[in-house]
Amino acid sequence: MQPEMLILLGTGNATVTRCYNTCFAIQTGEEYFLVDTGGGNGILTQLEKAGIPLESIHEIFISHEHTDHLLGLVWLIRMIATKMKKGQYEGDLQIYCHEELEKTIRTIVELTVQKKFCKMIGERIFFRTVKDGETKKILDYDVTFFDIRSTKAKQFGFTMKLQNGKKFTFLGDEPYQEHEEKYAENADWLLHEAFCLYRDRDLYSPYEKHHATVKEACEHAEALGAKNLILYHTEDKNLAERKKLYTEEGKQYYHGNLLVPDDLERILL
Region of 34 (left: φ > 0; alpha: ψ -120 to 50; beta: rest) is beta
Say how many C-beta atoms besides its own lie within 10 A of residue 105's C-beta: 21
Contact 154, 144 (CB under 8 A): no
Residue of 100, 31, 68, 43 lying closest to 211 (CA atoms): 68
Nearest distance from C-beta of residue 30 to Zn ion, angstroms: 29
Nearest distance from C-beta of residue 68 to Zn ion, angstroms: 4
Distance (Å, whole) CA 120 – CA 126: 9
Distance (Å, whole) CA 65 – CA 121: 19
Please select the residue that binds Zn ion; options are 4, 36, 65, 173, rule is CB under 5 A. Answer: 173
3-class DSSP assignment, residue 247: helix
Smaller CB separation from Zn ion, 38 or 250? 38
Choose the stretch contacting Zn ion; rule: CB under 5 A; options: 23-31, 65-73, 179-187, 237-245.
65-73
Nearest distance from C-beta of residue 173 to Zn ion, angstroms: 4
Choose the stretch contacting Zn ion; rule: CB under 5 A; options: 92-100, 123-131, 165-173, 204-212.
165-173
188 contacts Zn ion (rule: CB under 5 A)? no
Nearest distance from C-beta of residue 117 to Zn ion, angstroms: 26
Contact 208, 172 (CB under 8 A): no
Please give the residue whose beta carbon sits closest to Zn ion in the complex: 173
68 contacts Zn ion (rule: CB under 5 A)? yes
Which residues, in sequence order, are bridge partners of residue 52?
Answer: none
Choose the stretch contacting Zn ion; rule: CB under 5 A; options: 54-62, 67-75, 136-144, 260-268.
67-75
Nearest distance from C-beta of residue 25 to Zn ion, angstroms: 17
Binding site for Zn ion (CB under 5 A): 14, 68, 173
